[in-house]
Structure 1
Amino acid sequence: MARQTGVIQISGTVGGVVFAKDGTVRQKQGSNKSQFNSSASMQRVRENASEFATAAKAGKLLRDALRRVVAQASDRLMVSRLAQKMKQVLNLDEDSDRGGRQILAENLTMLLGFDFNAGSALSSTYYGRYDAALDRAAGNHTVSLGEMNPARDIAAPQGATHYRVTGAVSTVNFETGAFNSVDASTAEVPLSNALRPAEVLNLVLPVGSADDALVVAVGIDFYQSVNGKLYPLNSNAYNALSVVAVG
């Protein structure tokens, strides 16, 4: 590598030659984009890059569709974890060629049990019974919550005095990028030994197309009562949200 020894101070790129601040001089490297797009040896890399991009786009679409509830319960690695899960869904496409596989609604069962907040899984936080029922024809969907004892059936974090259960349903079209969603919640309920009666959360959301996927998520939020006012507990770090049904 050439090295500048004179008194002329040059920094930057001149005529394809890079002058570094430490005095070294090197030729500017060309772009590898053309090689990436055309080289036969890069074929597998291009295929993998295409499918990872498809999975990441699908994950963002689902996050956008469920934004209202995801904002209440997610961890800092949720975006990458969801993209990895979507890549698993994409791998189930047996009809398309490698590099062109797609997210198909019939393969979304891979999402069942996905926790948006890995630090607070719904299965280890809420032990009450819940059932999701989807009605594509009528657009009337429900999340049924069974009778429960909050003090016994909820693993509440220290400092929590109240909780709220939320159900959300989204229609997502992974081909067009269209989505819609609705959610419904219980009241903020004290974490006491008082028996909580069964309750049904009604989620009315028509399905626009046969290609639309339905995704249902159920979550629990925690609050602390101070002077009669409820405050979200510890920046939502203990809240849970999980995919419980697809259709």
Structure 2
Amino acid sequence: MARESSILKLKGQLDGMSFYKTQEGYQVRAKGGIERERILNDANFERTRENMNEFGNINSAGKLIRNSIGVFLNRAKDMRTSSRLVSVVAQVKNLDVVSDRGQRSFAVGIESPDAKILLEGFEFNKNAPLSSILKQEYAIDTEVGSVSIPQFYPKEHLMIPEYATHVRFSFACAVIDAVTLTSKVKFAEQQMISVDAEMADMELTLDALPDLEGVKMFYILLEYFQDINGKLYPLKSGAYNALRLVRVV
């Protein structure tokens, strides 16, 4: 794989080369490979078909998780969020020890206690992980659907970027059904907090948990803002925002 550096930004195929655009820019690679019909039917490619089937399953599961929390994800992510999440989802799929090769699925793997360990702590913006930004302990009540931060003091308990004047905490619970690929979500948003605010207990509580049977995933979103002439703007287009999957039950 090579990167295209000419002033002409091409897409498509030309002289045996495929030109395409990724998040990292325009790239080019040689056209080639095995015909699709042969991969789908030739007995020599049975292992390939099995891998393709499982890859399709983890891609769907990764998309399900991303879409379930899309409102938050649009505010805090990095260029590799999708691929990093799929990598973790693949590890969860591998915990399916009852299905045949090629049929292992995220839906079965997620039932393993180890799956929760793999997913919990996933940072959607690796450039601003909540684990590094928030220095105060927080408690999650999965029965009620709440998060609490005792004696929260922004100047002491946060890494505050330059020019940030306010911070906002948000909390959510998304329930996913990995079999039917459906989800429901509930959000609880905190009002803006000045970075100069005094110490106070903070708690966010959902009005109810999502009414769907499945895996419950709880998220914390932290966003920074800058006050300019009395109006609050996302700081650096959200580059410092953190989104973490904090609990899976």
Shift of 1:182: 1.1
Residue 100 of structure 1 aligns with an amino acid whose one-letter code is Q
Question: 2 CA distance for matches of 1:147 and 1:44?
Answer: 56
Question: 2 CA distance for matches of 1:117 and 1:31?
Answer: 37
Partner of residue 81 from structure 2, selected from 78, 83, 87: 78
Question: 2 CA distance for matches of 1:183 and 1:218?
Answer: 10
Question: 1 CA distance for matches of 2:56 and 2:151?
Answer: 43
Shift of 1:40: 2.7
Match in the other structure for 1:122: 130
Partner of residue 151 from structure 1, selected from 128, 150, 155: 155
Match in the other structure for 2:3: none
Indicate how the Cα distance of structure 1 residues 125 and 69 shifts in structure 2: closer, same or farther if over 3 A, else same: same
Q: How many residues were matched structurally?
A: 214
Matched, 1:97 2:103: no
- Based on CA coordinates, which of the two structures has the bigger radius of gyration? 1
Shift of 1:224: 0.4
Question: 1 CA distance for matches of 2:36 and 2:141?
Answer: 49
Residue 232 of structure 1 aligns with an amino acid whose one-letter code is P
Matched, 1:106 2:108: no
Indicate how the Cα distance of structure 1 residues 48 and 39 shifts in structure 2: closer, same or farther if over 3 A, else same: same
- Deviation digits for residues 28-69 of structure 1 (CA, Å, limit 9, x no counterpart): x99722321222321222111111111111111111100111
Question: 1 CA distance for matches of 2:218 and 2:55?
Answer: 24
Indicate how the Cα distance of structure 1 residues 198 and 49 shifts in structure 2: closer, same or farther if over 3 A, else same: same
Residue 138 of structure 2 aligns with an amino acid whose one-letter code is Y
Partner of residue 235 from structure 2, selected from 233, 236, 241: 233
Q: Secondary structure at the match of 1:145?
A: strand
Q: Superposition RMSD on alpha carbons, in Å?
A: 1.9
Q: Secondary structure at the match of 1:50?
A: helix
Residue 234 of structure 1 aligns with an amino acid whose one-letter code is K
Unpaired segments ≥5 residues, structure 2: 1-14, 16-31
Q: Secondary structure at the match of 1:106?
A: coil
What percentage of residue pairs aligned between the two structures are identical?
A: 32
Question: 1 CA distance for matches of 2:235 and 2:227?
Answer: 10
Alignment of 1:75-224 (within 5 A): 75-104=78-107, 105-107=110-112, 108-109=115-116, 110-135=118-143, 140-192=144-196, 194-209=198-213, 212-224=214-226
- Deviation digits for residues 55-112 of structure 1 (CA, Å, limit 9, x no counterpart): 1111111111001111110011111111111111111111111111111332441111
Unpaired segments ≥5 residues, structure 1: 1-19, 21-28
Question: 2 CA distance for matches of 1:194 and 1:133?
Answer: 25
Indicate how the Cα distance of structure 1 residues 94 and 124 shifts in structure 2: closer, same or farther if over 3 A, else same: same
TM-score (norm 2): 0.81
TM-score (norm 1): 0.81
Question: 2 CA distance for matches of 1:31 and 1:83?
Answer: 25
Indicate how the Cα distance of structure 1 residues 192 and 208 shifts in structure 2: closer, same or farther if over 3 A, else same: same
Residue 117 of structure 1 aligns with an amino acid whose one-letter code is N
Q: Secondary structure at the match of 1:215?
A: strand
